[in-house]
Amino acid sequence: MLSDSSDDDVARRSGLTGNTKVTREDWMKLALETLICEGVEAVRVLALGQKLNVSRSSFYWYFKSRQDLLDQLLDFWRNNNTRFIVEQAGRPAATITQAVLNIFECWLDESLFNPRLDFAVRAWSRQSATVHRIVHEEDDARVDAIRAMFARHGFADTEAFVRARVLYFTQIGYYSLEIVEPVSNRLFLTPSYLLTHTGEEPRAGEVEAFAEKVRRRAGD
């Protein structure tokens, strides 16, 4: 987690360097970036208002309280990071290797899964029993969606569950270790990852189509 960002840097990263009319989206965007860069303790109404150059009264047009804001940050995390994994796992796929490639899209596209936000929430969960419980529930929901994906492709219940856990927690561990490698290297290794996760070789053209999709997104 980043912890050394100045107030000005957080505001700049959020695209908020002045104020004419502050919206709910402005408050949320800054709160999310502050959560990611500085942790939940820094998500304070007064501090956010100072960065936005507005009084605290502006905050209460959009949120009932700081807790309301924190609850909405959790909802944002859940409705993005978890939702897209579940949706990708549920997409129709002719083969299990194509189904796993659908999941892999989340790992290579931060609009589908934001790892910095995920670990900011996990850090938060170490300070809050309620958030800790919610994180476990979301992990379970993600694993269950992937388990169901394996089950649809003929894997027995226990094997589907274990493969889902290995696929998901391997990637979470990859993020936690802050492993950085070029996308080109990850694409090169994709056929071997697919074989490891599914026990099957990808069909001709599957990895190539996936790589092209990744490159198109990178060029957006």
Position 6 scores a pLDDT of 45
pLDDT above 50: residue 19: no
Question: Taking the CA atoms of the chain, what radius of gyration do you get in angstroms?
Answer: 20
Amino acid identity, position 206: E
- DSSP characters over 85-137: HHHHHHS--SSHHHHHHHHHHHHT-TTT--HHHHHHHHHHHTT-HHHHHHHHH
Position 127 scores a pLDDT of 95
pLDDT above 50: residue 190: yes
Position 7 scores a pLDDT of 43
Q: Where are the alpha helices (DSSP H) in the chain?
A: 7-13, 24-38, 45-52, 56-62, 66-77, 83-90, 96-107, 115-125, 129-152, 157-176, 183-198, 206-218
Give me the mean pLDDT over the 159-172 stretch: 97
Give the pLDDT confidence of 27-58 residue by residue, as tens digits: 999 999 999 999 999 999 999 999 999 988 88
Buried b (16+ CB within 10 A) or exposed e, 145-165: bbbebbbebebeeeebbebbe
pLDDT above 60: residue 11: no
- Whole-angstrom Cα distance, residue 88 to residue 98? 11
Q: What is the dihedral of CA 165, 172, 218, 34, to 10 degrees?
A: 140
Q: What is the DSSP secondary structure assignment for residue 199, as one 8-state letter?
A: S
Q: How confident is the model at residue 220 (pLDDT cuts 50, 70, 90)?
A: low
pLDDT above 80: residue 95: yes
Give me the mean pLDDT over the 70-94 stretch: 97
Position 8 scores a pLDDT of 41
For residues 18 and 181, which has the higher predicted lDDT (pLDDT)?
Answer: 181
For residues 177 and 160, which has the higher predicted lDDT (pLDDT)?
Answer: 160
Give me the mean pLDDT over the 198-218 stretch: 91
Query: pLDDT exceeding 70 applies to what percent of the chain?
Result: 90
pLDDT above 50: residue 216: yes
Q: Is the four-CA dihedral 168, 42, 49, 56 of positive or negative sign?
A: positive
Residue 138 structure tokens = 């979301």
Of 43, 34, 47, 124, the residue nearest 78 (C-alpha): 124
Give the pLDDT confidence of 113-157 residue by residue, as tens digits: 999 999 999 999 999 999 999 999 999 999 999 999 999 999 999
